[in-house]
Amino acid sequence: MDHMQIKDNVFLINTENTSYMFRVDKYGHLEHIHYGGRVLIDDAEALSYKKYIQHGATVLYDKENDHYSTDSLPQEFGTYGVGDFNEASIEIENKDSYTCDFVFDSYEIKDTDIKIKDLPSSYGCDETLIIHLKDKVNMLCLDLYYAVYYKTNTISRRAVLRNTSKLSFTLHKLMSYSLDLFEDNLVLMDLFGAWDKETHINERELNRGTYTIGSRVGFSSAKNNPGFIIRKKGTREDSGKAWGFNLVYSGNHYSSISKNEYGIHRIQGGISFERFHKKLNKGESFETPEAVMTYTDRGLNCLSHNFHDFINNHIVRSDWKHKERPVLINSWEAFGFDFKKDDLIKKLAKNAVKLGIELFVLDDGWFGRRDSDKRGLGDYDCNLKKLPGGLSALSSEIHKMGMLFGVWVEPEAINVDSKLYKKHPEYAISEENRDMYFGRNELLMDLTNPDVRDYIVENVSKLIDDNKVDYIKWDMNRMMNAVSGEYNHEYIKGLYEILDRIFIARPWVLFESCSSGGNRFDLGMLCYSPQIWASDDTDPIERLDIQKGLSYLYPMSTIGAHVSASPHMHTLRSTPLETRYNVSAYGCLGYELDLSMLSPLEKSEIKKQIEHYKKHRKTFQYGRFYRIDDEPDYEAFEVLGPDIIYTKFRRLVHAVPFYDKLYVRGLDDNKIYTIKSKSFIHNIRQFGHLINLVSPVKVNADGMLVGNISKIRGMDASAQLYQASGAALKEGLCLNPLFVSSGYNNYIRIPLDFGSDMYVIKEKEYESGKEK
């Protein structure tokens, strides 16, 4: 394969559909030439920026050459002090001087993964190019790494600064990558949010100036995910150019995109260097986290596919890599802390198993004196008042029922009201002579202290081993306050060490990471936890935005999504059970509600949902996921795997709705398919007094009679069956009409606010008349 080509002074890195090119110029600087579609190495001159003019007051690098200024030169890694006034990618201080001038020294190509010291990274690359640069004055070496993942069209980048001199330097900034993109008419798409409304798409047209994305809350954060996309104006889901960026890191981060006066966008990303002053003594080095980039000219769906494949193949590890994730029941939205005796828990488990659920997760409240979020964090002893038999008895009971057993923990935090704090107050992060600042009544543990790391590793490992725990939900529920940038980085390295010791050593454990929902949804955590709880908000309408936002950068196999009780705890909105399933099915499905409160009809619907999910689970979790942007009134998702599943989600009903269509992607134009709607039952209560139009006797719609009937009987949604070629499905299959109040028959679809319709599409062997 042609991953890396080097000719004269030009370096070309190829993936299946992309090329990345730079060259060493006559001064030894790395001149960026191209990141986009496939090109030839001999195109370097044609594609490069032409330097035949001096720009006014610019500072010349060489006084004999008035055409060369680093300010207008697209570069691989811009520095300060040699005429480049764009944002520098590295800042080093030595006795008040910030100047550095890194020039080419040598290069190496390796065909094995090269681990980053103390940080997780992707694995299984095809090749890595390492460019060694040296500062012209100080004995500082800068190594730029470019790892290529050919099939997934992804390139990862990172930098290492080595101090080979006898002096000490202060490092203020070292980005993982910098890219001077020579393009115009660009739009930035980032994932913006908050607790309960994570990862909403935020679009900004890139004009002159600097746009930043970042977190200073100590973690990758719900405020701004580290991943983002830059697209050309006009790029849509299935056409146009786009570049994607992400970081394999879970702490404070910073990315900036600045458009300069020459129309070049400098894009750079890495850890946040706010309040960061790292002393780099003789012989020491600093390694950045890894950043990943992808490019496509085939639209945003294709960009997402590159990232999905990259994550499933080169980030996620453990026995759960490529493995179907179990359907779970979680106790949190069912009971919170309030399960006085284990009867409730066991009842939940018994109900769950009857519905086909495969994993029982005991959430918060099982340890110490944890009856509220005010106490108990830091302790690992089971609360025997709540679970008299202890965890191991519960675990074996759950196992006997045929389910896996999972437990919630929050090891990074401590309550002052805990046995641990009484014994080791120094385990908590606090500032001397200052007040303690609490978040959800807790303090964070000092993960830079090796004793704290040992304490967590020992206790969580024992918890898993002694109780045969199959799944861990690892939560972290507060922001990190009043620490330096360096401390934050050391904390995150401490966290990774802990996760390494617990989970890399126990690859069979399914680890789901959580941080008040999606406050830490990032590639660093995904190196340990194959799935992440996306949001505490389980209202499916909110989840549509959250999960759609995530889908741009992360595959469905990584997204925890649960069906909860309606009206929803976080919005008070009521939604149909069918939509709750239809949204959660595009992820790792779970249920999070008190199953004993369900009517027999709801139970039988949930049982059918779980059967449906298991039948198509491979497709839902690992299929090709498409966002459909042809449907203005709907959100529509398609997933194409062993089966094809297409779902339309409605927000609000309109009177006299337009006829609507299915626009199915990725099929064979010449094959014939059958399209079948997934059956489900409408709750008769949603029709209110209209029930009297069909009832033989007049009934009170809010009365007990209708209430009781609705628990056992519903109205079948109209079954729809169509047949069409792949070509017709691409153009848009016209669906049966929606209800308009002038009558009802078997063909009419009933629209509901927040309703949805799921279709299963199968190839049909037309000649034999048999469906495949």
Beta strands in 666-737 (DSSP E): 672-677, 681-682, 715-716, 721-725, 733-734
Nearer CB in complex with ligand GLA: 358/410: 410
Please indicate whether residue 135 is annotated as part of the active site: no
Give the Cβ contact number of residue 82 at 10 Å. 19
Q: Tokens 């115009």 correspond to what residue?
A: 184
Shortest Å distance, C-beta 363 to ligand GLA = 5
| Contact of 591 with 619, CB cutoff 8 Å | no
- Crossing angle (nearest 10°) for helices 342-355 and 600-622: 70
Residue 537 CB partners (closer than 8 Å, separation 6+): 196, 197, 517, 543, 546, 568, 570, 571
- How far are the Cα atoms of 333, 349, 446, 597, 682 from residue 711, in angstroms, in the given order? 22, 22, 52, 11, 11
Shortest Å distance, C-beta 610 to ligand GLA = 21
Q: Half-sphere exposure (CA, 13 Å, Cβ side) for 51?
A: 18
Rounded Cα–Cα distance for residues 474 and 408 (Å): 6
Query: What residues does 765 pair with on adjacent strands?
Result: 770
The first and second tokens of residue 152, run together, are 């997934």
Residues 1-30: x where in contact with ligand GLA by CB under 6 A, - otherwise, as a string: ------------------------------
Q: Tokens 């660009």 correspond to what residue?
A: 186
Verify binding: residue 531, ligand GLA, rule CB under 6 A. no
Nearer CB in complex with ligand GLA: 514/636: 514
The first and second tokens of residue 751, run together, are 């629209």
Nearer CB in complex with ligand GLA: 188/514: 514
Q: How many residues bind ligand GLA (CB under 6 A)?
A: 11
Nearer CB in complex with ligand GLA: 142/514: 514
Q: Which stretch binds ligand GLA (CB under 6 A): 69-77, 233-241, 513-521, 563-571?
A: 513-521
Shortest Å distance, C-beta 335 to ligand GLA = 11
Of the candidate residues 332, 471, 554, 680, the single one contacting ligand GLA (CB under 6 A): 332
Shortest Å distance, C-beta 218 to ligand GLA = 16
**Distance in angstroms between the alpha carbons of the first and the last residue of the chain:** 36
| Contact of 705 with 594, CB cutoff 8 Å | no
- Please name the amino acid found at residue 85: F
Beta strands in 248-315 (DSSP E): 253-259, 265-271, 278-280, 285-287, 291-296
Shortest Å distance, C-beta 224 to ligand GLA = 19
Question: In angstroms, what is the C-alpha Rg of the chain?
Answer: 28
Of 176, 147, 148, 172, give the one whose Cα is nearest residue 160: 176
- Please name the amino acid found at residue 428: A
The first and second tokens of residue 101, run together, are 């001038």
Of 309, 256, 283, give the one whose Cα is nearest residue 122: 309
Shortest Å distance, C-beta 522 to ligand GLA = 16
- The CB-nearest residue to ligand GLA is 364
For 697-717, the three-class secondary structure string (H helix, E strand, C coil) is CCCCCCCHHHHHHHHHCCEEC
Q: Which stretch binds ligand GLA (CB under 6 A): 4-12, 514-522, 551-559, 719-727?
A: 514-522
Residues 567-586: x where in contact with ligand GLA by CB under 6 A, - otherwise, as a string: --------------------
Shortest Å distance, C-beta 198 to ligand GLA = 11
Nearer CB in complex with ligand GLA: 194/505: 194
Per annotation, catalytic residue among 196, 342, 363, 475: 475
Shortest Å distance, C-beta 88 to ligand GLA = 38
Nearer CB in complex with ligand GLA: 101/363: 363
Of the candidate residues 36, 411, 517, 714, the single one contacting ligand GLA (CB under 6 A): 517
Verify binding: residue 558, ligand GLA, rule CB under 6 A. no
| Contact of 559 with 550, CB cutoff 8 Å | yes
Shortest Å distance, C-beta 373 to ligand GLA = 6
Shortest Å distance, C-beta 496 to ligand GLA = 21
Shortest Å distance, C-beta 516 to ligand GLA = 5
Verify binding: residue 514, ligand GLA, rule CB under 6 A. yes
Rounded Cα–Cα distance for residues 623 and 523 (Å): 20
Nearer CB in complex with ligand GLA: 296/477: 477
Verify binding: residue 196, ligand GLA, rule CB under 6 A. no
Q: Half-sphere exposure (CA, 13 Å, Cβ side) for 457?
A: 20
Three-state DSSP class for residue 600: helix
Which burial class, exposed, middle or buried, applies to 767 when counting CB atoms under 10 A from its CB (0-12, 13-18, 19+)? exposed
Residues 353-392: x where in contact with ligand GLA by CB under 6 A, - otherwise, as a string: ----------xx----------------------------
Query: What residues does 119 pair with on adjacent strands?
Result: 116
- Per DSSP bridges, beta strands 224-232 and 140-149 are unpaired
Q: Which stretch binds ligand GLA (CB under 6 A): 206-214, 222-230, 254-262, 512-520?
A: 512-520
Rounded Cα–Cα distance for residues 713 and 725 (Å): 37
Nearer CB in complex with ligand GLA: 15/519: 519
Residue 104 CB partners (closer than 8 Å, separation 6+): 24, 28, 29, 30, 131, 132, 133
Per annotation, catalytic residue among 536, 537, 660, 757: 536
Verify binding: residue 408, ligand GLA, rule CB under 6 A. yes
Nearer CB in complex with ligand GLA: 440/618: 440
Shortest Å distance, C-beta 464 to ligand GLA = 18
Nearer CB in complex with ligand GLA: 332/367: 332
Give the Cβ contact number of residue 282 at 10 Å. 12
Q: Tokens 């002090």 correspond to what residue?
A: 81
| Contact of 157 with 177, CB cutoff 8 Å | yes
Residues 616-645: x where in contact with ligand GLA by CB under 6 A, - otherwise, as a string: ------------------------------
Please indicate whether residue 536 is annotated as part of the active site: yes
Of 370, 374, 381, give the one whose Cα is nearest residue 339: 370
Nearer CB in complex with ligand GLA: 235/330: 330
Q: Which stretch binds ligand GLA (CB under 6 A): 85-93, 389-397, 511-519, 640-648?
A: 511-519
Residues 52-91: x where in contact with ligand GLA by CB under 6 A, - otherwise, as a string: ----------------------------------------
Nearer CB in complex with ligand GLA: 255/519: 519
Q: Which stretch binds ligand GLA (CB under 6 A): 246-254, 296-304, 509-517, 595-603?
A: 509-517
Shortest Å distance, C-beta 415 to ligand GLA = 12
Rounded Cα–Cα distance for residues 31 and 42 (Å): 15
DSSP at 264: P
Of 272, 222, 271, give the one whose Cα is nearest residue 247: 271
Of the candidate residues 442, 536, 660, 757, the single one contacting ligand GLA (CB under 6 A): 536
Give, as ranges, the residues between 463 and 492 that touch ligand GLA (CB under 6 A).
Answer: 475, 477
Nearer CB in complex with ligand GLA: 189/349: 349
| Contact of 405 with 331, CB cutoff 8 Å | no
* Residues at the interface with ligand GLA (CB under 6 A): 332, 363-364, 408, 475, 477, 514, 516-517, 533, 536
**Catalytic residue numbers, as ranges:** 475, 536
